[in-house]
Amino acid sequence: MIGKVALVGAGPGDYGLFTLRGKELLQEADAVVYDRLANPRLLEFCKDGVELHYVGKMPDRHTLTQDEINALLVKLGKEGKKVVRLKGGDPFVFGRGGEEAEELIQHGIPWEVVPGVTSAISGPAYAGIPVTHRELASSFAVITGHEEPGKEASAINWASLATGPDTLIFLMGVGNLGLIVEKLVEHGKPLDTPVALIQWATRPNQRAVSGTLKDIVEVVEREGITSPAIILVGKVVSLRDTLKWFENRPLFGNKILVTRARSQASDLTELITKAGGEAIEFPTIEVSPVSDWKEIDQAINKLDLYTWLIFTSANAVEYFFERLYTKGYDVRHLAGLKVGVVGRATRDSLLSKGIIADVMPEFYTGEALAKELAKKLSNSDRILFPRSEIADKLTVKFLAETGAIIDDYTIYTTTPVAEGVDEVDTLLKNDKIDCITFTSSSTVENFHTALGSVWNSLDEKPLVACIGPKTAARATELGYAIDYMPNEATIAALVEGLKEKLGGE
């Protein structure tokens, strides 16, 4: 059976600019053939067991030649696989997608194309430069800055470009910047024409420089701008100082280490990214349900014996309700129970199940929850407390003092991991991390086990941000100076504080 190949545009680099159709195809793909400029995060959409084939190209070297890439696509298609050819930008805008499609047609392989957001327009937009403007530019042209090697003569009509379109956008042209400037000036483009180069456009490490045809080569050399970068020529470049927005976000230019479990990191990563920072995920813990459900199952089967159900984490809520549903029950089985939660994130997780918490303390700690509940409990109450195996024992201690009966059962476990430790080791030693975030005592402990010796050897240390007092106390015990802790122990408050600490207004 013949498979199918989809030529999918990965967009310019910003993860959020990927298309819904592209996501759908990645989720279904048996094999993905991807480029250097495709955001690696897109591969998280892929299912387990997918074949990954990296075929990235650098200006001076190729992993595979284009002919070899074409042959790989044909081979995978003939094997009956659903294939995604993930290409930076748009497949048909200097992406050689047309050549790949022709090869597939020649071999009878079904195919489709999914357009991507091209960097030719999105890159300038993220640098605050509209490619058209009512008063400055009514036309634009997109030109390759890197013609096919071996051509006897350029196919670019320099005379028409120099005097025609108002905005010129060159892709893949950094290495030929001098020649581009020379040809435009030679054919009549004024030396004072504004020029900008945008490197790694739409990504957290985006850099943009500007000048004129007279001095832009010198500016680029001085600032160290290299590929990949877009060259923009025209009066619209003058709008950058007014319209610049992407680089003005509060966390722009900051690399922030996220040490949460991968299953929990997305909300923190998303908030950091929205604020302009670069979130580097380094999971130091892994959260998983218990293997033996005996105690929890017995409690669920006899929920009518309990008067209170308490949760001190969103994880506990998720695993408890997952087991409740597995046992054939739904929220009606909790009728008559009152519920206490430790804080806002746990409350929101509970609310997603259709239940409003009866008690939530002002300060989001297990101890504060226990003290708040103590005002309402008596020795006739019985409490079910599904928790992690490392939950704060003070919660149980304070609850026990009320005389209530407490059944505290482990519902999930937290185990140490250290994914990507070598990469983070290198980043720390090269002063490439601006802040480390800790969201629990276990993230601190496991980070310290994996990289504590490296941390202690650093002359200049990144900022340390802890979500709450318990986490901060453990970090202090291990020798970490705490630079920031929010008044409210939530992810949102943590990021808001980082904006002020790292970026100002």
Domain ranges of the chain: 4-116, 121-247, 255-284+417-503, 288-415
- Find residue 416's DSSP bridge partners: 285
Chain segment 199-247, per-residue pLDDT in tens: 999 998 999 999 999 999 999 999 999 999 999 999 999 999 999 999 9
Q: What is the largest CA-CA distance in the chain?
A: 93
The CATH number corresponding to 4-116 among 3.10.20.740, 3.10.580.10, 3.40.50.620, 3.40.1010.10 equals: 3.40.1010.10
Helix (H, G, I), strand (E, B) or coil at 107: coil
Of the candidates 280, 295, 253, 275, the residue with the CA atom closest to the CA atom of residue 411: 295
**How far is residue 139's CA from residue 167's CA, in Å, rounded to a whole number?**
6
The CATH number corresponding to 255-284+417-503 among 3.30.428.10, 3.30.413.10, 3.40.50.10090, 2.60.40.1080 equals: 3.40.50.10090
Question: What strands, in cross-sheet order, belong to the sheet with 194-199?
Answer: 140-144, 167-171, 229-233, 194-199, 207-212
Answer yes or no: are the C-beta atoms of 210 and 231 closer than 8 Å: no
Q: Write the CATH number of the domain with boundaries 288-415.
A: 3.40.50.10090
Q: Determine the residue type at 468.
A: G
Backbone φ and ψ of 442, nearest 5°: -70, -30
**How far is residue 294's CA from residue 317's CA, in Å, rounded to a whole number?**
18
Q: Determine the residue type at 31.
A: A
**How far is residue 194's CA from residue 176's CA, in Å, rounded to a whole number?**
18
Compute how many other C-beta atoms are within 10 angstroms of the C-beta atom of residue 169: 24
Answer yes or no: are the C-beta atoms of 403 and 427 closer than 8 Å: no
- Is 381 tagged catalytic? no
Average per-residue pLDDT in the chain?
92
Q: Of these residues, 4, 81, 90, 172, which one is catalytic? A: 172
- Is 172 tagged catalytic? yes
Answer yes or no: are the C-beta atoms of 206 and 200 closer than 8 Å: yes
The whole-number pLDDT of residue 61 equals 60
**How far is residue 292's CA from residue 297's CA, in Å, rounded to a whole number?**
9
pLDDT over threshold 90, residue 365: no
Task: Write out the DSSP string of 135-172.
Answer: TTBS-EEEEESSPPTT-SS--S-HHHHHHS-SEEEEES
Which two three-digit tokens encode residue 341?
């939660």
Residues above pLDDT 90, as percent of the chain:
77
pLDDT over threshold 50, residue 45: yes
Backbone φ and ψ of 326, nearest 5°: -60, -35
Please tell us whether the domain made up of 121-247 is placed in CATH 3.30.950.10. yes
The whole-number pLDDT of residue 373 equals 87
The answer to which of 117-126, 362-371, 449-458 has the lowest mean pLDDT is: 362-371
Q: Which residues contact 233 (CB under 8 A, 6 or more apart)?
A: 167, 168, 169, 170, 184, 189, 193, 194, 195, 213
- Is 330 tagged catalytic? no
Q: Determine the residue type at 146.
A: H
pLDDT over threshold 70, residue 5: yes
Which two three-digit tokens encode residue 225?
């701008």
DSSP symbol at 307 = S
Q: Determine the residue type at 464.
A: V
pLDDT over threshold 70, residue 459: yes
Q: Of these residues, 35, 90, 392, 408, which one is catalytic? A: 35
Chain segment 384-440, per-residue pLDDT in tens: 999 888 776 777 877 888 888 999 999 998 888 877 899 999 999 999 999 999 998
Which two three-digit tokens encode residue 281?
């995920």
Task: Please give the model's pTM, rounded to 2 decimal places.
Answer: 0.81
Same fold? 121-247, 288-415? no
Q: Of these residues, 4, 14, 57, 381, which one is catalytic? A: 57
| Mean pLDDT calculated for residue range 54-74 | 83
The whole-number pLDDT of residue 505 equals 46
E strand or H helix at 86 = strand 82-87
What end-to-end distance do the CA atoms of the chain give, in Å? 58
